[in-house]
Amino acid sequence: MASIPDDAICRTPPDEAPHTITRVVYRHTLPLRIMHWINAICLLILLGSGLQIFNAHPALYWGQRSTFERPWLSLAAIQTHDGKLHGVTTLGTHRFDTTGWFGVSQMHGQSTVRGFPAWATIPGPQWLAMGRAWHFFFAWLFAINGACFVAYALWTRHLTRDLVPTRRDWRGIGRSVIDHALLRHPKGEAALRYNVLQRIAYLVVIFGFGGGVVLMGLAMSPRMDSVLGWLVDAVGGRQSARSIHFLFAMGFIAFFLIHIFEVIVTGVGNNLRSIITGRYAIETEARDETDQ
């Protein structure tokens, strides 16, 4: 397939928008696109394998010890007098019936006691050893890919130029919040620049969620006691590190859902082409030739 020149211009039909032209620009470089897709694949497998590991003990605690006595979150099951299983999710002092989703779900046509349902776990419904192997392998790939991204972003000034909010960005944060709430998204040249909410979100995800989930993952390993013992003590214990690790993972899911929603409402085809080929189409006003 022939590539589209960076300065390619395709005039829009007169009956649609005679005053605008569509211009295709080169938005994302090849290294950024490769790292984006490596990151997406890693996160998908890490989440699925992480939930499989979680199912071996579907409860979270604060402190050093893990027992079923006082979890702040648990996905369990109870059996009623009629012999039916019900999934019960406990969050603090609140309990919810989550049958079919958490605690009890269908597997092979039967109700099965398990924290998260089988469709959400990788590489299989009940395979703890392989789930751990997949999780650790892709965790290292995720960490290496993240380090490469930060190094590349610093080298190309992508981090300071495109992601760090400026004073002007901070002054316009109120307007940006309103625009997002009303689904008003920038057009034309403005669509090529990240707004302040996007910049904040990417920085939080990269350095907050990304860095935090890796550190908490390492803190859960007894082998890292001699290196990261201070970190385990700082967060209150190994079970606290497990809880924080889980919360960071949920933060990634929340970001993913918002990210996909924004991709859809701002143009699926254009956004996918941008992150696959690097080319992004924008509409700009055509200058009247009589003014030249």
- The predicted pLDDT at position 287 comes to 59
DSSP secondary structure of 212-266 = HHHHHHHHT-GGGHHHHHHHHHHHTSHHHHHHHHHHHHHHHHHHHHHHHHHHHHT
Provide the H-helix boundaries in the chain. Answer: 30-54, 128-155, 158, 167-171, 173-181, 196-203, 211-219, 225-235, 238-265, 268-277
Give the model's pLDDT for residue 1: 40
Q: How far apart are CA 148 and CA 36, in angstroms?
A: 11
Indicate the domain borders of the chain. Answer: 9-29+156-291, 59-119
Q: What is the pLDDT of residues 182-198, one digit of tens each?
A: 988 888 888 889 999 99
pLDDT of residue 2: 42
Alpha-carbon distances, residue 24 vs 37, 90, 270 (angstroms):
22, 51, 10
Q: What is the pLDDT at residue 227?
A: 85
pTM of the model: 0.86
Long-range contacts of 273-277 (CB under 8 A, 24+ apart): 274/27, 274/28, 275/28, 275/33, 275/36, 275/37, 276/33, 277/3
Which pLDDT score, from 0 to 100, does residue 95 have?
94
| Closest by Cα among 270, 221, 216, 279 to 248 | 216
On the question of a cis peptide bond just before residue 18, with omega within 30 degrees of 0, the verdict is no
Distance CA 170, CA 134 (A): 41
pLDDT of residue 215: 94
Angle between helices 30-54 and 238-265 (to 10 degrees): 130
- What is the pLDDT, as a whole number, of residue 286? 64
For residue 285, give the nearest of 193, 191, 188 by alpha carbon.
188
* Positive/negative CA dihedral, 52, 56, 57, 58: positive
Q: What is the largest CA-CA distance in the chain?
A: 85
Q: State pLDDT tens for residues 230-270.
A: 999 999 999 999 999 999 999 999 999 999 999 999 999 99
**pLDDT attached to residue 18:** 54
pLDDT tens, the chain, 292 aa long: 444 444 444 444 545 545 778 889 999 999 999 999 999 999 999 999 999 999 999 999 999 888 778 899 999 999 888 878 899 999 999 999 999 899 998 887 788 889 999 999 998 877 889 999 999 999 999 999 999 999 999 999 999 999 999 999 999 999 999 998 998 888 888 888 999 999 999 999 999 999 999 999 999 988 887 788 899 999 999 999 999 999 999 999 999 999 999 999 999 999 999 999 999 998 877 654 444 4
pLDDT of residue 9: 43
